[in-house]
Structure 1
Amino acid sequence: MQTFLLVLALFLIVVLIMAVGYIVQRKTISGSCGGISSLGMDKACDCDDPCDKKKARMAKEQQWKENQIH
């Protein structure tokens, strides 16, 4: 039980330090590999024809942009 509490306290301290770092710097935690853009992909799904859910989401986003007040 003592080991569990020690590890729990350690995790809580690390989360607290990360939260303080975010509050101070306003920067999100990011990876060092560059993400999918380093692989030459523009998006996570590199399909030529998007699925129906993606098409509906894109249409909704387009409609929102058209109705947006400038």
Structure 2
Amino acid sequence: MSSFIAAFVVLLVFFLLMSVGYIIKKKAVEGSCGGLGALGIEKACDCDNPCDARKARMAAEEAREKKLAQNRIL
């Protein structure tokens, strides 16, 4: 039972340190391999003709990025 408690405390401390790092840096946790971007894949669904829901999400994302670019100070 003591090893379970020790492992739980170590895991809890690890998550606490990750939380503090996220709060300070304001940057999400990322993998070190680069993910799909390293493979040259722009999206998770790499099909030629995406579904309507995906097209709507992509259009909303493009509109959001355009709005952010217009309101950017620097």
Name the TM-score, length of structure 1 as normaliser: 0.71
Identity of aligned residues (%): 50
Taking only aligned residues, the RMSD between alpha carbons, in angstroms, comes to 2.3
Larger Rg: 1
- Name the CA shift for 1:37/1:7 in 2 (closer, same or farther; >3 Å): same
Give the ranges of 4+ consecutive aligned residues of structure 1 lying more than 2 Å apart after TM superposition: 51-59
* CA deviation profile, 1:19-65 (whole Å, cap 9, x unmatched): 11111121211111111111111101110112354346557x39xx5
Q: Gapped runs of 5+ residues in structure 1?
A: 66-70
Name the TM-score, length of structure 2 as normaliser: 0.67
Alignment of 1:1-70 (within 5 A): 1-55=1-55, 57=57, 61=60
Q: Gapped runs of 5+ residues in structure 2?
A: 64-74
